[in-house]
């Protein structure tokens, strides 16, 4: 395996037009799950099912962003953010999944978008960040092809309403997680465990994405449309041919399975062969639909994977501990170089016009605020390391145009509930009080300077 010890010194300059932002997702922050006509989502159902989330945590209240969004926009301004990536809750717009538009749900996002624009913050809208309306899951969920029809209807309604003001659209967040964590491992909603269902879900997701692209272009003049993938920076555990092949299969499972169809190559033949009968037949036209031209690819990167050959399981791949790496509170190894390797590989292997890092960040066990301060030096070091590698990738010619920190504020971290804090802003859940962490103040200065500052450069006001 490559040497993991040698990190370049922190630094790097970004182009003046580089877009600086932070990201969130509806179910993780909004709360207000029964308000203003919102319907039930698969995450409401899942988190209320005993044993599915840490301590039974749910998104019922979360960060109460549904009510506190004006304060949250003020925080974004204080952090100097130029862009904010958030998602729309499908069950607020269509409480039954299809048919019956809920005007109050649309009105909420209207207010939010207007508030952002008034604050000079560019909205980046994710249309699906995991909160499928429960009635659609009851009708078969993502493995069912008709969920793509429902998605296109939903996208049409949202983009007709917001498309005059929102110009940056992300169809789906991390379809790998939707399909494999939702329908294979069951760690995420809806919690099913069935490889065939997971593979069928990937098909529907890519079709839904591809069919939504022209709808967004039609409803939002000058729109820039993309998709966000969680891609693996994968390394073989040794130089042995079997471990290298294992790494290639893992790359097929995580990366090529989505990238190849999106960029017009269809599903990778090695993976099709490997999945065999578990793969439902490809409906005619699917390959063309998934390859609808997009304007950018969103990349979510958190940590690398080291893998080796293992005789068991359909993939015959085992994930091994990443050597010499610190880990975050999630247990995820910290390896900024993985971001550089991933960006260069994407640029080399696919005709990607523009790249954005749509999520990157780290959970640590932050202390509660004391005297208005939350010192989080490890998070600052994490951001500094990854931004340094992002700048290096740009210097190597990668068309990387922006970066969104995950996350604006601590929030409901899916199955981990509120036990993992990813925010630039600390949220005290009982009082809902927000406190900007040192990493937030550091990020603010980085945005102002347009370059990576040393971790000591925390200026608080
Ligand atoms: C990503 C999700 C995001 C958040 C981070 C930590 O997979 O897109 O919602 O949970 O992980």
Please give the mean pLDDT across all residues of the chain: 96
Return the C-alpha torsion angle 6, 308, 233, 194, nearest 10.
-150
**Domain annotation covers residue 387:** yes
CA of 298 to the centre of ligand 1 (A): 13
Between residues 112 and 5, the one the model is more confident about: 112
Residue with tokens 């009105």: 107
Q: What is the pLDDT of residue 399?
A: 98
Task: Annotate 296-346 with DSSP letters as a single string.
Answer: EEEEE---EEEEEE-SSSSS-EEEEPPTT--B-TT-PBP-THHHHHHHHHH
Q: Is the peptide bond before 190 cis (omega within 30 degrees of 0)?
A: yes
Q: Where are the beta strands (DSSP E) in 346-424?
A: 355-359, 400-406
What confidence tens digit (pLDDT) does each residue in 262-284 have? 999 999 999 999 999 999 988 88
User: Which of 54, 228, 414, 424 has most ligand 1 atoms within 8 Å of its beta carbon, as the pocket-test mutant?
Assistant: 414
Cα–Cα distances (Å) from 68 to 64, 65, 120, 335, 379, in that order, read 6, 5, 18, 35, 25
Q: Is the confidence at residue 6, as pLDDT, over 80?
A: no
Provide the residue range defining the domain that includes 322.
19-449
10 Å CB burial of residue 280 (0-12, 13-18, 19+) is middle
User: Which of 62, 362, 406 has most ligand 1 atoms within 8 Å of its beta carbon, as the pocket-test mutant?
Assistant: 406
Please tell me the distance from the alpha carbon of residue 190 to that of residue 198, in angstroms, as a whole number.
11
Label residue 37 by pLDDT band (50, 70, 90). Answer: very high
Task: Annotate 225-255 with DSSP letters as a single string.
Answer: EEEEEE--EEEESSSSHHHHHHHHHHHIIII
**Domain annotation covers residue 148:** yes
Q: What is the pLDDT of residue 460?
A: 60
Q: Is the confidence at residue 5, as pLDDT, over 60?
A: no
Cα–Cα distances (Å) from 455 to 12, 19, 371, 439, 459, in that order, read 13, 21, 21, 9, 11
Q: Is the confidence at residue 3, as pLDDT, over 70?
A: no
- Is 71 among the residues known to form the active site? no
Is 0.85 topped by the overall pTM?
A: yes
What confidence tens digit (pLDDT) does each residue in 401-425 have? 999 999 999 999 999 999 999 999 9
Label residue 459 by pLDDT band (50, 70, 90). Answer: low
Residue 179's CATH number: 3.20.20.80
**Domain annotation covers residue 169:** yes
**Domain annotation covers residue 368:** yes
CA of 281 to the centre of ligand 1 (A): 30
What is the enclosing helix (H) or strand (E) of 276?
A: none
Residue 257: which residues within 8 A CB-CB, separation 6 or more? 176, 202, 267, 268, 271
Please tell me the distance from the alpha carbon of residue 263 to that of residue 250, in angstroms, as a whole number.
19
CA of 390 to the centre of ligand 1 (A): 19
What is the enclosing helix (H) or strand (E) of 423?
A: none
Q: Is the confidence at residue 457, as pLDDT, over 80?
A: no
Ligand 1 within 6 A of CB of 394: no
Which protein residue's CA is at the shortest distance from atom 10 of ligand 1? Answer: 413
**Domain annotation covers residue 237:** yes
Per annotation, catalytic residue among 40, 137, 174, 413: 174
Ligand 1 within 6 A of CB of 383: no
**Domain annotation covers residue 13:** no
What confidence tens digit (pLDDT) does each residue in 58-113 have? 999 999 999 999 999 999 999 999 999 999 999 999 999 999 999 999 999 999 99
Q: Is the confidence at residue 163, as pLDDT, over 60?
A: yes
Q: Which atom of ligand 1 is nearest to the CA of 177?
A: 7
**Domain annotation covers residue 7:** no
Ligand 1 within 6 A of CB of 180: no
**CA dihedral for 319, 325, 328, 334, sign (positive or negative):** negative
**Domain annotation covers residue 435:** yes
User: Which of 57, 63, 126, 174 has most ligand 1 atoms within 8 Å of its beta carbon, as the pocket-test mutant?
Assistant: 174
Q: Which atom of ligand 1 is nearest to the CA of 361?
A: 6
Cα–Cα distances (Å) from 364 to 331, 418, 444, in that order, read 10, 12, 20
Q: Is the confidence at residue 2, as pLDDT, over 80?
A: no
Q: What is the pLDDT of residue 355?
A: 99
Q: Is 122 helix (H, G, I), strand (E, B) or coil?
A: strand
Ligand 1 within 6 A of CB of 286: no
* Number of other CB atoms surrounding residue 19 within 10 Å: 19
Per annotation, catalytic residue among 30, 137, 359, 389: 359
CA of 283 to the centre of ligand 1 (A): 30
Ligand 1 within 6 A of CB of 126: no
Label residue 8 by pLDDT band (50, 70, 90). Answer: low
Residue 140: which residues within 8 A CB-CB, separation 6 or more? 146, 147
Q: Is 168 helix (H, G, I), strand (E, B) or coil?
A: strand
Ligand 1 within 6 A of CB of 174: yes
Q: What is the pLDDT of residue 461?
A: 53
User: Which of 413, 420, 423 has most ligand 1 atoms within 8 Å of its beta carbon, as the pocket-test mutant?
Assistant: 413
Number of domains in the chain: 1
Backbone φ/ψ region at 236: left (φ over 0), alpha (ψ -120 to 50), beta: beta
CA of 230 to the centre of ligand 1 (A): 9
Please tell me the distance from the alpha carbon of residue 455 to that of residue 416, in angstroms, as a whole number.
28
Average pLDDT over residues 196-213: 98
Q: Please state, for a pLDDT cut of 70, what percent of the chain lies above it.
A: 98
- Is 40 among the residues known to form the active site? no
């Amino acid at each position: 395996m490559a040497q993991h010890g040698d990190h370049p010194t922190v630094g790097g300059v970004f182009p003046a037009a580089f877009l600086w932002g932070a990201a969130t997702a509806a179910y993780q922050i909004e709360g207000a799950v029964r308000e203003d006509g919102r319907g039930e989502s698969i995450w409401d159902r899942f988190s209320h099912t005993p044993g599915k989330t840490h301590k039974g945590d749910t998104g019922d209240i979360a960060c109460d962003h549904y009510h506190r969004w004006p304060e949250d926009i003020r925080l974004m301004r204080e952090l100097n953010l130029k862009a904010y990536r958030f998602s729309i809750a499908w069950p607020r717009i269509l409480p039954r999944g299809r048919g019956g538009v809920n005007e109050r749900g649309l009105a909420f996002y209207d207010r939010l978008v207007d508030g952002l624009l008034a604050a000079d913050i560019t909205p980046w809208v994710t249309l699906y960040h995991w909160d499928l309306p429960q009635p659609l899951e009851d009708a078969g969920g993502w493995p069912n092809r008709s969920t793509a029809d429902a998605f296109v209807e939903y996208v049409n309604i949202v983009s007709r309403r917001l498309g005059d003001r929102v110009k940056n659209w992300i169809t789906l967040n991390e379809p790998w997680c939707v399909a494999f964590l939702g329908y294979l491992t069951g760690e995420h909603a809806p919690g099913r465990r069935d490889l065939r269902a997971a593979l069928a879900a990937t098909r529907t997701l890519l079709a839904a994405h591809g069919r939504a692209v022209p709808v967004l272009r039609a409803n939002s003049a000058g729109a820039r449309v993309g998709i966000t993938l969680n891609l693996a920076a994968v390394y073989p555990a040794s130089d042995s041919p079997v471990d290298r092949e294992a790494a290639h299969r893992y790359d097929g499972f995580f990366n090529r399975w989505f990238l190849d169809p999106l960029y017009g190559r269809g599903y990778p033949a090695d993976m099709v062969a490997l999945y065999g009968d578990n793969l439902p037949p490809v409906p005619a036209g699917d390959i063309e639909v998934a390859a609808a031209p997009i304007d950018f690819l969103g990349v979510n990167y958190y940590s690398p994977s080291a893998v080796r050959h293992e005789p068991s399981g359909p993939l015959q791949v085992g994930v091994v501990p990443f050597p010499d790496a610190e880990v975050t509170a999630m247990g995820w190894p910290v390896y900024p170089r993985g971001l550089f390797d991933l960006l260069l590989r994407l640029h080399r292997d696919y005709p990607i016009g523009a790249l954005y890092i749509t999520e990157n960040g780290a959970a640590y066990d932050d202390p509660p605020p004391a005297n208005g301060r939350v010192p989080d030096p490890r998070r600052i070091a994490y951001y500094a390391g990854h931004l340094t590698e992002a700048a290096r990738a740009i210097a190597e010619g990668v068309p990387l145009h922006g970066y969104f920190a995950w996350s604006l504020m601590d929030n409901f971290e899916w199955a981990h509930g509120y036990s993992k804090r990813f925010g630039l802003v600390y949220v005290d859940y009982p009082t809902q009080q927000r406190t900007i962490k040192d990493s937030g103040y550091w990020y603010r200065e980085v945005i102002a300077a347009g370059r990576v500052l040393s971790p000591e450069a925390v200026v608080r006001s």
